[in-house]
Structure 1
Amino acid sequence: MNKSAQNQHQDDLDVVRAVYDFVNGTNPDGASLADPEITVHQSEELPWGGSYVGLEGFRRFHLAVSSAIHSEVEIESLFQAGDRVVQSGRTRGFVRATGKPFDAREVHIWRVRGGRIIDLEVYVETPLMLEALKP
């Protein structure tokens, strides 16, 4: 791999880390790393699931998730895979409506272009989350 490609991969990893800092509440400017044409996809089985497009879609996705649950992501692995950044880890927190705790495995697949997130696929241990969301 040439030096330029190595630098780009490191830059992509740094962008994704900055977004996790936003998700975990330590980087208030993290949302600015979303490309205006961003797409976000999550399993439609979850209440906030579906596909979201553009900055408004990204905001709706973030609001839907953060209104339903409080969670923090623990990164267990973060690596470059071609033009994607893959993160596997855990999401831990509680359901806002009931206070019920959860600890679920999850994987996020990111695409970064020009220092901004252009695509995010979110996979979470769905049966566990659905059980936690029950009243």
Structure 2
Amino acid sequence: MKNIDLAKTGYKKFADGDIEGVLDMFDPNIEWHECQGFPFIEGNGVFKGPEAVAKEVLNLIPEYYENFNIEIEELMECDDRVIMTGYYTGTWKATGKKFKANAVHVWTVKSEKLSRFFQAVDTATIVNPVKAKAM
């Protein structure tokens, strides 16, 4: 399977709410780098292993967001990396405000498993969305 197809499958499973299916796609030693300043993440945002990612990130999403979604604008593959550019959308429960925030993911694939994740997200837009002014 191509690395980009592996990533597409992971995003589809996430969208379908199949978190166990997503976790099964991870290398047992996955290194997960959550964006610094990301809401609800404590510490440095680096987690090791599928169980830590589930506990510290994925299982918390429904607690903090309503209708959280990843809108993929583009997926690119380069050697053992897959890059996703797109947006996070949903409602931040603490404010009740809807958001659409820029997001970039960089995945590293090793032996047909997702082995590293790096995220860059406009966290300010998530916690304090600003409506675009008409031009």
TM-score by length of 1: 0.80
2 CA distance for matches of 1:65 and 1:40?
15
- Go from structure 1 to structure 2 and tell me whether the alpha carbon gap of 1:117 and 1:48 turns closer, same or farther (over 3 Å shift): farther
- Go from structure 1 to structure 2 and tell me whether the alpha carbon gap of 1:122 and 1:83 turns closer, same or farther (over 3 Å shift): same
Deviation at 1:39, TM superposition (A): 1.1
CA contact (8 A) 1:87 1:108 kept: yes
Equivalent in the alignment of 1:52 = 47
Deviating runs (4+, > 6 A) in structure 1?
Answer: none
CA RMSD for the aligned pairs? 1.8
> Which of 85, 105, 114 matches 1:88?
85
2 CA distance for matches of 1:11 and 1:42?
25
CA contact (8 A) 1:22 1:31 kept: no
Bigger share in helix: 1
Aligned length: 123
Deviation at 1:27, TM superposition (A): 4.6
Identity %: 25
After TM superposition, the structure 1 = structure 2 runs for residues 19-98 of structure 1, keeping only pairs within 5 Å, are 19-25=10-16, 27=18, 29-49=21-41, 50-60=45-55, 61-70=57-66, 71-98=68-95
Matched, 1:16 2:44: no
2 CA distance for matches of 1:106 and 1:12?
20
CA contact (8 A) 1:34 1:117 kept: yes
CA contact (8 A) 1:40 1:53 kept: yes
TM-score by length of 2: 0.80
Which residue identity does 2:8 align to in structure 1? R
Structure 1 unaligned spans of 5+:
1-9
Residue aligned with 1:46, SS: coil
